[in-house]
């Protein structure tokens, strides 16, 4: 039963990678929770949270599309190892600056840009590498299982960050960054152990050219379902997903309560990120366990609408208890729509174009986000966090409904 439900786990290389990645992702989410909190403590201005988000995702805008061509000419496993090492060094540097009380907002912005650069190459190589760890039949399950550990880490990582912030108030952020640096060792060691299939490297001796890039773009234009998915992902990439950078504003200012202390605010910040992770984990586990389910297109639409309603509802919330259900909805909707979009693209694209098409998907998801982060940071500072997320959620909802009205065939994907 387990083998039929989770076929990707039958592959030794995938199991090793999956477990190492899980530990590393826990550390990554610890840093992702603590870093915006530290940035807001240093500046007290939401616009700087947008700037940190801009620095983190700007490399995706600049590098992910060419990375799709480059990755197809490189050994994907070695590329992932190299980028993981860069990200580990970034975490240790940030830890040193925070522990020694030398960190400034500009250190955070600069090191975040380095992290974003490494991530823009690593994520393209990692997504394209999955087919080298499992066979095509197990690929949807591998994608879903990756989403599961990513979102399990979204629960565990922020939860573990809370003790650092609450018990080590002077250096807690730095030690959380240090723990993240150590966590990278697990996935790096795992990647040294496994061996990927050589079939993906058959064309490595070809020169890179503009024609290679354009071939991938022509395939996207000739494949309406992929083009449609990319358009749908673009909407929340600008108007919705960058909200995560503004969680410290909600934790400290919007949802404030009488008697708040720094420790209470830190705990509330971690709890909000954890809550979003719980919703995401529920979605990921469901998709992993039922990766052969029918009606994927309908579930994709439901996930998008639930996400948008969660954003709007959060804008009306004035206490943590009111906000929790809407944050859960946002987490569930985010993972449901992105995991199904990724699965649809991976199953549609031929192997020789996989890196180029996946890089286009990642560019739409992450490359638009820096401008959304800056815009949302400005909007929060101008009209307030509650109004800003209500505007973003409303735009997402109208956009989703409009696209599904124009292309109702997407709801029939995955069976009727």
Residue in the structure block whose two tokens are 């989410």 = 29
195: left (phi over 0), alpha (psi -120 to 50) or beta: beta
The tens place of each residue's pLDDT in the chain, 416 residues long, gives: 445 677 888 888 889 999 999 999 999 999 999 999 999 999 999 999 999 999 988 988 888 777 767 776 778 888 899 999 999 999 999 999 999 999 999 999 999 999 999 988 888 788 778 878 888 788 878 877 887 888 789 889 998 988 888 877 778 899 999 999 999 999 999 999 987 665 444 444 445 566 777 787 888 888 888 888 899 999 999 999 998 889 999 999 999 988 888 888 888 988 999 999 899 888 887 877 765 556 777 888 999 999 999 999 999 999 999 999 999 999 999 989 998 888 888 777 887 787 778 778 888 888 888 899 999 999 999 999 999 999 999 999 999 999 888 877 776 666 44
Residue 155, Cα to own-chain centre: how many angstroms?
14
For residues 241 and 372, the answer to whether their CB atoms sit within 8 Å is yes
Q: Please state, in angstroms and rounded to a whole number, the distance separating the CA atoms of residues 18 and 147.
A: 10
Q: How far is CA 223 from CA 219, 235, 274, 338, in A?
A: 6, 20, 37, 19
Residue 225, Cα to own-chain centre: how many angstroms?
22
Q: How far is CA 142 from CA 124, 284, 381, in A?
A: 16, 12, 41
Residues shown for the chain: 416
Total domain count, the chain: 1
For the CA atoms of 93, 99, 102, 104, what is the dihedral angle to 10 degrees? 70
Q: Please state, in angstroms and rounded to a whole number, the distance separating the CA atoms of residues 101 and 96.
A: 8
- At residue 73, φ and ψ (nearest 5 deg) are -105, 0
The tokens describing 34, both together, are 């603590």
- Structural domain span for residue 14: 2-199+208-412
Q: Please state, in angstroms and rounded to a whole number, the distance separating the CA atoms of residues 386 and 318.
A: 9
Residue in the structure block whose two tokens are 């956009």 = 399
User: What is the predicted pLDDT for the residue at 290?
Assistant: 67
Q: Please state, in angstroms and rounded to a whole number, the distance separating the CA atoms of residues 57 and 373.
A: 9
Q: Please state, in angstroms and rounded to a whole number, the distance separating the CA atoms of residues 377 and 388.
A: 9
For residues 386 and 254, the answer to whether their CB atoms sit within 8 Å is yes
User: What is the predicted pLDDT for the residue at 293?
Assistant: 59
* CATH number of the domain residue 42 falls in: 1.20.1250.20
């Amino acid at each position: 039963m387990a083998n039929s439900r989770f076929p990707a786990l039958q592959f030794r290389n995938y199991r090793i990678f999956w477990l190492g990645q899980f530990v590393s992702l826990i550390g990554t989410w610890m840093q992702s929770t603590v870093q915006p909190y530290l940035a807001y403590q240093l500046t007290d201005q939401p616009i700087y949270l947008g700037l940190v988000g801009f620095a983190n995702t700007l490399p995706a805008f600049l590098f992910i599309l060419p990375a799709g061509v480059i990755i197809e000419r490189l050994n994907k496993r070695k590329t992932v190892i190299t980028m993981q090492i860069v990200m580990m060094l970034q975490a240790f540097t940030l830890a040193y600056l925070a522990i020694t009380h030398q960190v400034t907002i500009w250190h955070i912005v600069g090191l975040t840009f380095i992290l974003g650069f490494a991530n823009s190459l690593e994520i393209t190589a990692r997504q394209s590498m999955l087919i080298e760890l499992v066979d095509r039949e197990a690929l949807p399950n591998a994608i879903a299982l990756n989403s599961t550990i990513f979102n399990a880490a979204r629960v565990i990582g922020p939860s573990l960050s809370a003790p650092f912030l609450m018990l080590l108030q002077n250096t807690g952020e730095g030690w959380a960054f240090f723990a993240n640096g150590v966590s990278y060792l697990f996935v790096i060691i795992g990647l040294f152990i496994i061996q990927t299939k050589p079939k993906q490297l058959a064309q490595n001796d070809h020169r890179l050219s503009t024609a290679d890039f354009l071939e991938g773009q022509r395939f996207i234009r000739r494949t309406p379902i992929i083009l449609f998915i990319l358009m749908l992902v673009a909407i929340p990439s600008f108007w919705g997903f960058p909200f995560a950078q503004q969680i410290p504003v909600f934790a400290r200012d919007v949802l404030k309560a009488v008697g708040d202390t720094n420790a209470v605010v830190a705990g509330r910040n971690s709890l909000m990120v954890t809550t979003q992770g719980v919703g995401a984990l529920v979605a990921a586990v469901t998709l992993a366990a039922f990766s052969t389910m029918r009606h994927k297109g309908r579930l994709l639409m439901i996930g998008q609408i639930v996400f948008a309603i969660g954003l709007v509802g959060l804008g009306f919330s004035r206490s943590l208890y009111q906000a929790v259900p809407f944050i859960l909805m946002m987490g569930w909707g985010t993972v449901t729509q992105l995991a199904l979009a990724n699965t649809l693209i991976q199953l549609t694209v031929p192997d020789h174009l996989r890196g180029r098409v996946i890089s286009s998907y990642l560019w739409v998801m992450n490359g638009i986000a820096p401008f959304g982060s800056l815009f949302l940071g400005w909007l929060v500072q101008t009209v307030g966090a509650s109004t800003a997320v209500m505007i973003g959620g409303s735009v997402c909802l109208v956009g989703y409904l409009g696209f599904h009205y124009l292309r109702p065939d997407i709801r029939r994907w995955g069976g009727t």
